Every structure is written in C-alpha cells, then in structure tokens.
A and B are shown apart, each in its own frame.
Chain A
Amino acid sequence: MNVALSFYLMELKKIISYRAEFWLGFLGNVLSQFGVAFFLWKAIFAARGGESIQGYTFGALMLYYLLVPLVERVVYGQEMGYISGEIYDGGLSRYLIYPVSYFRIKYLAHLAQSSVFLIQLMLGLALFLAVFHSPFSLTWPAIGKTLPVLFCSGMLFFIFAINLEMFAFWADNVWSITVLNRLATHLLGGGLIPLAFFPKWAQTVLDWLPFTRLVSFPIRCLLGQVGNLEWIRGLGLTAAWAGIFAISGSLLWRKGLKGYNGVGI
C-alpha cells in the first residue's frame, strides 16, 4: 500500500469513527438550507403566480436547492480552517519533519471527506427521487460527467482555499477570510440563487470566474444540462484556475515558511 492510499484510508477511518457527526452533519446542513429555500420559494411562487420563474419550476428549484448543500459538501471537503489553524498553533511543525508533502497529506484528507460526502449526496438524491417522484431522472451519462467534475472542482476549491489559509503565516487569524471565501463561493457560484437569476452580463463574467465551477457547474452536470463541449470547456477552465492557484500557493508556501516560527512547541 502506498503513502497516499494509507493517508486516504486513515482519514476515512477517522471520519467514519464519528457516526453521529456523519448523520447529524448530513441532516443538519442539508435540511437547514433546503428548508429555508423551500419556504422562501413557496412564498415567492405564491406571490408571483405562474408555473416557473426563469425556466425553473418549483420542483426543479427544490431539486436544485437540495443539490446545493450536498454538492458543496463534496466540493468543500474537509472543514475550513485546518491548515491556517496548524500554521497558527504550530501543528504544521510535525508535518514538516515527515518525508512527505504537507499538502499531499491535507489533500488526501480533503478527498476522504469528499468521498464520505459523495455517499451523502447519493443518499440525499435517492431520498428525494423516492419521496417527490420528480420528473428528473438520474442518467448514467450525467453521472459519468459529474464525477470527474466533482473531483476537479474539489481540487480547485482545495487549492484556492489553501491560498487563503496560508495568510496565517502573516496574520494570526484568518478565519474571516475563509468564511468570506465560503460566502463568495456560495453566492457567486450559484449556491444562494441559481445563476439564471443573475443579469446576462453578470452570468457572462461569472462563467469565467472559478466560483461557478465549484457549485453551479457540477449541479448542472448532474441534472444533465451540460453538453459535451461545455463539459470539456468547464473542465478546462477548472484545471486552468487550479493551475493558477497552485502557482500562487507554491509562492506563498515558500515565502511563508521562511517566516514560520513553529510557535507552540
């Protein structure tokens, strides 16, 4: 067994050992977001009348809002603040003496968490389809397109997030930056409202930014709304942004480590 697989399995063991967290995290996160969206849009539909808004029926919107927290959890993976926390409290030091890349270890932890959340995504989707008899049906081509997109989106989010977390080398507390990142991703990625509700010019701009690749794009892939060309372009853009952030992250890491004091030991 190689190092990567060992770390991945270790993280899986850690996550699965907390059974209550698995279920409560799933239910709490998904139900709270879905519940708010349900009552809000029900009121909006009642006030406006009509079958659909911006091409979304009520049922389609609810499916979208169910998928938002589920997909976000897969893409975001491990909870934020781990890396900045380890820089802040000196926990990073122990990884610096291991003959293995720190970010490799952290990415595998992220991947393990994402895998667990992927199971929750499937579970949530199956429940929705069973309960609501939605006209939407999950197809193999859609699943085939979504899995690599989720993988790439998760990697992009991880690389982007570590860029922000590395500010902990210079600022003691970067919690607010990581929270802003989540908010920005949620809003500009189409988590708060679908991108179709934004003005056309904003949709064009957002399409080139990384945020849409993290939320809206994987959801649309799963819903079977992404053609082959758009899928390839989307993956290309995701990889390009990941490459850009990998370069900036590498520079920040080198610079940050020179000033790292390893406090706390």
Chain B
Amino acid sequence: MIRARGLSKTFRVHRKEPGLMGSVRSLFSRKWQQVHALKGLDLDVGAGEIVGLVGANGAGKTTLVKALAGIIHPTSGTAEVLGFVPWQRKNGFRKQIALIMGQKAQLWWDLPAGDGFLLLREIYQIPNDTFKANLAVLAAALRVEDKLNIQIRRLSLGERMKMELIAALLHQPRVVFLDEPTIGLDLAAQRAIREFILEYRRKENPAMILTSHYMEDIEKLCERIVLMRDGELVYDGPVAKMVSSFARHKVLTAHLRAGETGPDGPARPDSAPGEILEWSGASLKLKVDRAQAAAVASHLLQTYPVADLSIDEEDIGTVIEAMLGKGPSP
C-alpha cells in the first residue's frame, strides 16, 4: 500500500545570529543552511500493518509522513501510496488517506464537531447512511456522543483529539498517518485512543504509520518499528526482534521471602553483578548483561531467600535510546 524508494528531502533554512545585531545583519545578508531531513529512505507498509516511526526530534519522521501524505514534495526519490504519487494530490488518493496530527487541530475551531463532520461528509462525498452509521460507531467507541454539539474550542484536549480521530476516519481511509495522536493526553484518554486505533485496524485493515514519543503507543499498537536518525533508517523490523537483537541487558527482579533475612533485612548486595536499579530490602532489581543473565539468576537464587524471580527484557525506550545513540551505550 505504501512504497517509498530513495526518498530524500533537503530544506534550506535561514541561520540568524542571536541578538539585535544578528537581526540587523540578517536584513542585509543572510546565511542559509541545507538541512537533509530525509536521506534516500526506503519503506514498504502493507495493509493491516501499524508501523511505529520512532526517532529523536529532527530525525525526519514528520517529514516522511508529510511526503507520504502528499503535503510536501521530496527533493528526490519516488513514492507510491495506493498506486498514486502522493504529492500529485489526485482526489482519488486524497479520498483514501487520513492524517491525524496531535499537535495541530484540523477541525474547525469555531464550529461544533457535528457541523465539521457534516462538512467532511460533503468533502469526501460519503453517502448519508454510511456517514450516519460510521459517526454513530466512532462516537460510541470514543464515548463522545454527547459532545458533538459543542464548539471544538470549548472541548478538553482529550475530547478534541477524539473528535479529530473521528473526523479523520469517517471516510474509512485505507491509509492512515498518525502523528503523535496521544500527545498531551491523560492516561485514560491515551488508552481509549489506543484501543480505538486497534479496533479500527481490526475492522478496516488499513496501512497505518504512527509517530509517537510515547513508547507505550509503540508497544501497544505496533508489531513493526522503523527507527530513524538524521533522516536515515536505523532499523526496520519487528519490535520483538529489535529488542532481542539490540538490547544488551536483561532486567532481573527478585522478590525476597519475608522473615528469612534477619531483623534488619538482608545486606545491600553491593557485590551483586550488574547494575542495581532498585533495592528495597524486600526486592532487588538488577540490570545485567544478557549473556550473564542465567548465571546471575542462579547466583541470586543461591545467595538470597528468593520467593519469586523474573527475567525481563529492557524497556523498549532504553533500547531505542541506545540504538539512536542518545542513551547509555548498549
């Protein structure tokens, strides 16, 4: 459904020195800098896939989404979405895609959501029966049936985001771009939106690209992850494979039996292998090299009155940070 080959985008940005003199100087002479937001990127996304696009700020995620949604022209390379070249913006293409931008309202601020949806019905030429049925299902799933007659600007952020989702999905798009759909939302709203996205995928089988800085979004929604750094793909594959291939540590958690460690509890295990992440006297959490995990587990079982022991992968955020070179070295 989505296929990009050698996609590159270079921007020219104006560099201004700070301060008043910098501003005055820029009136007469400007310095420009080339920013290579995308560097020959290849990507394929099939029907029913939710691909998590992850990277630091400025990695090129949103630029990629904008190119695939037809908002910007790439500097070079090719892309096809549903058989269309996105930046030619044919109506046949635009009727089948949706872009949800968590940081940018798309509905009409001064109008109730219901009026905005009626307008979208006309824009996408949705038959009235289909429109009514879709709206009823979407509004019920997101529990906003009683908010449809309230002006968008008077809704809470979470309610607004739910309306944005409804607006984007009313025409049952086959390709959906989700750019930070849960940004700024409380936990309940985040969960509701994630469940909703999964339900939509189950019913409509669209290709979806999700960018998010919330690792929970990626973990809960995506089987496949695309990591970007400085406009290039660093990794493209299953989330589980990424963790097993790139995580260098495992996390061991041991819960100790009460009453068997003396009146003052066990001594802090300063000599324990690996890094102590948590120590409460009743439990111990260690980060250890993957290769040593079994040996350390055995050591803990022999040394401490362990009631329960679990061995987990590092959290996905840590693995990604390490792969992107921002966090502790893997």
Where the two chains meet, the residues of A that have a C-beta atom closer than 8 Å to any C-beta of B are 1-3, 6-7, 10, 13-14, 17-18, 90-91, 93-94, 96-100, 257-262, 264-265
Given A14-B111, A265-B103: A7 touches B119 (CB 8 Å cut-off)? yes
Docked-complex contact B69 and A261, CB < 8 angstroms: no
A92: nearest residue on chain B (CB-CB)? B71
Docked-complex contact B111 and A96, CB < 8 angstroms: no
Q: Mark B101-119, 1 if CB is under 8 A from A, else 0.
A: 1011010101100010011
Docked-complex contact A6 and B72, CB < 8 angstroms: no
Q: Which residues of B contact A13 (CB under 8 A)?
A: 111, 115
B37: nearest residue on chain A (CB-CB)? A261
- Say if the beta carbon of B232 comes within 8 Å of chain A: no
Q: Which residues of A contact B98 (CB under 8 A)?
A: 97
Determine the distance from Cα of A1 to Cα of B125 in the docked complex, in whole angstroms: 10
Given A96-B70, A96-B71: A265 touches B119 (CB 8 Å cut-off)? no
Q: Which residues of A contact B110 (CB under 8 A)?
A: 14, 17-18
- Say if the beta carbon of B123 comes within 8 Å of chain A: yes
Docked-complex contact A265 and B115, CB < 8 angstroms: no
Q: Can you list 21 A-B pairs with a CB-CB distance of less than 8 A?
A: A3-B123, A3-B125, A6-B119, A6-B122, A14-B108, A14-B111, A17-B110, A18-B110, A93-B66, A93-B99, A94-B101, A94-B104, A94-B106, A97-B69, A97-B98, A99-B124, A100-B91, A260-B71, A261-B11, A262-B71, A265-B62
Given A93-B66, A265-B62: A3 touches B122 (CB 8 Å cut-off)? yes
Q: Which residues of B contact A97 (CB under 8 A)?
A: 69-71, 94, 97-99
Closest chain-B Cβ to A258's Cβ sits at a distance in Å of 5
- B51-103: which residues lie under 8 A (CB-CB) from chain A? 62, 66, 69-73, 89, 91, 94-95, 97-99, 101, 103
A15: nearest residue on chain B (CB-CB)? B110
Main secondary structure, interface of A, reads loop
Determine the distance from Cα of A2 to Cα of B160 in the docked complex, in whole angstroms: 26
Determine the distance from Cα of A84 to Cα of B94 in the docked complex, in whole angstroms: 23
Q: Which residues of B contact A261 (CB under 8 A)?
A: 11, 72
- Say if the beta carbon of B179 comes within 8 Å of chain A: yes
Q: Which residues of B contact A258 (CB under 8 A)?
A: 73
Determine the distance from Cα of A185 to Cα of B257 in the docked complex, in whole angstroms: 86
Q: Which residues of A contact B122 (CB under 8 A)?
A: 1-3, 6-7
Q: Which residues of B contact A260 (CB under 8 A)?
A: 71-73
Q: Which residues of A contact B91 (CB under 8 A)?
A: 99-100
Q: Which residues of A contact B124 (CB under 8 A)?
A: 99
Q: Which residues of B contact A264 (CB under 8 A)?
A: 104
Determine the distance from Cα of A262 to Cα of B91 in the docked complex, in whole angstroms: 20
Q: Which residues of B contact A7 (CB under 8 A)?
A: 119, 122
Docked-complex contact A98 and B123, CB < 8 angstroms: yes
Docked-complex contact A10 and B115, CB < 8 angstroms: yes
Determine the distance from Cα of A17 to Cα of B98 in the docked complex, in whole angstroms: 29
Closest chain-B Cβ to A174's Cβ sits at a distance in Å of 16
- Could you say which of B73, B89, B179 contacts A265, with CB atoms under 8 Å apart? B179
A263: nearest residue on chain B (CB-CB)? B11
- Could you say which of A2, A17, A18, A96 contacts B89, with CB atoms under 8 Å apart? A96
Q: Which residues of B contact A2 (CB under 8 A)?
A: 122
Docked-complex contact A90 and B70, CB < 8 angstroms: no
Determine the distance from Cα of A265 to Cα of B63 in the docked complex, in whole angstroms: 9
Docked-complex contact B94 and A98, CB < 8 angstroms: yes
Docked-complex contact A6 and B70, CB < 8 angstroms: no
Q: Mark B287-322, 1 if CB is under 8 A from A, else 0.
A: 000000000000000000000000000000000000
Docked-complex contact A99 and B62, CB < 8 angstroms: no
Given A14-B111, A97-B71: A6 touches B104 (CB 8 Å cut-off)? no
B116: nearest residue on chain A (CB-CB)? A10
A1: nearest residue on chain B (CB-CB)? B122
Determine the distance from Cα of A14 to Cα of B112 in the docked complex, in whole angstroms: 10
Q: Which residues of B contact A14 (CB under 8 A)?
A: 108, 110-111
Q: Which residues of A contact B95 (CB under 8 A)?
A: 99
Docked-complex contact B103 and A100, CB < 8 angstroms: no
Closest 7 CB pairs of A and B: A99-B94, A99-B91, A6-B122, A94-B106, A3-B122, A262-B71, A14-B110
Known contacts A10-B115, A98-B94, then 8 further A-B pairs from the complex at CB < 8 Å, ordered by chain A residue: A10-B111, A17-B110, A91-B104, A99-B95, A259-B73, A260-B73, A265-B101, A265-B103
Given A97-B97, A261-B72: A6 touches B118 (CB 8 Å cut-off)? yes
Docked-complex contact B111 and A90, CB < 8 angstroms: no
Docked-complex contact B73 and A257, CB < 8 angstroms: yes
Q: Which residues of B contact A265 (CB under 8 A)?
A: 62, 66, 101, 103-104, 179
Determine the distance from Cα of A93 to Cα of B67 in the docked complex, in whole angstroms: 11
A5: nearest residue on chain B (CB-CB)? B122
Q: Which residues of A contact B73 (CB under 8 A)?
A: 257-260
Closest chain-B Cβ to A209's Cβ sits at a distance in Å of 32
- Could you say which of A10, A90, A93 contacts B108, with CB atoms under 8 Å apart? A10
Docked-complex contact B70 and A100, CB < 8 angstroms: no
Q: Which residues of A contact B101 (CB under 8 A)?
A: 93-94, 265
Docked-complex contact B70 and A99, CB < 8 angstroms: no
Given A100-B123, A262-B66: A93 touches B94 (CB 8 Å cut-off)? no
Closest chain-A Cβ to B152's Cβ sits at a distance in Å of 11
